């Protein structure tokens, strides 16, 4: 089962897209190997808004779904950064 997380960012991304009202809310999908997922998706023509960004808790990248909506792929590097926390 996929875990969904809504996030909001306030900076531009490397493809030049700037934040606009209603355009930055997205859901996040946690993946076990972000680099491998990005490579596979690029091979089938998925458009990414930026390159992989590494932060304190993990790595992330934004892609566009077929309708142009942003989707975040996230790979946690710390257990507490996981989108799915044990109950």
Q: Please report, for the domain that includes residue 61, its CATH number.
A: 3.10.180.10
In a domain? residue 40:
yes
Number of independent structural domains in the chain: 1
User: Quick one: pLDDT at residue 10?
Assistant: 44
Q: What is the pLDDT of residue 14?
A: 64
Decide if 2 is inside a domain.
no
In a domain, 13, yes or no: no
More confident residue, 40 or 22: 40
Q: Is pTM beyond 0.75 here? A: no
- Please give the sequence-ordered ranges of beta strands (E in DSSP) within 8-83, or none if there are none: 26-30, 53-54, 58-64, 70-76
Would residue 23 be called left, alpha or beta, if left means φ above 0 and alpha means ψ between -120 and 50 degrees? alpha
Evaluate whether residue 86 is within a structural domain: no
Domain of 63, in residue numbers: 22-77
pLDDT-based confidence at residue 23 (cuts at 50, 70, 90):
low
pLDDT at 29 over 50: yes
- Residue 59 tokens read as 């790595």
> Is 29 domain-assigned?
yes
Percent of the residues in the chain that have a pLDDT greater than 90, as a whole number:
45
């Amino acid at each position: 089962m996929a875990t969904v997380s809504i996030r909001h960012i306030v900076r531009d991304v490397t493809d030049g897209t700037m934040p606009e009202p209603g355009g930055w809310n997205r859901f996040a999908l946690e993946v076990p190997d972000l680099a491998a997922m990005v490579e596979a998706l690029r091979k089938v023509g998925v458009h990414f808004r930026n390159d992989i960004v590494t932060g304190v808790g993990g790595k992330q990248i934004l892609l566009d779904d077929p309708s142009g909506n942003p989707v975040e792929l996230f790979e946690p590097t710390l257990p507490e950064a996981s989108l799915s926390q044990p109950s």
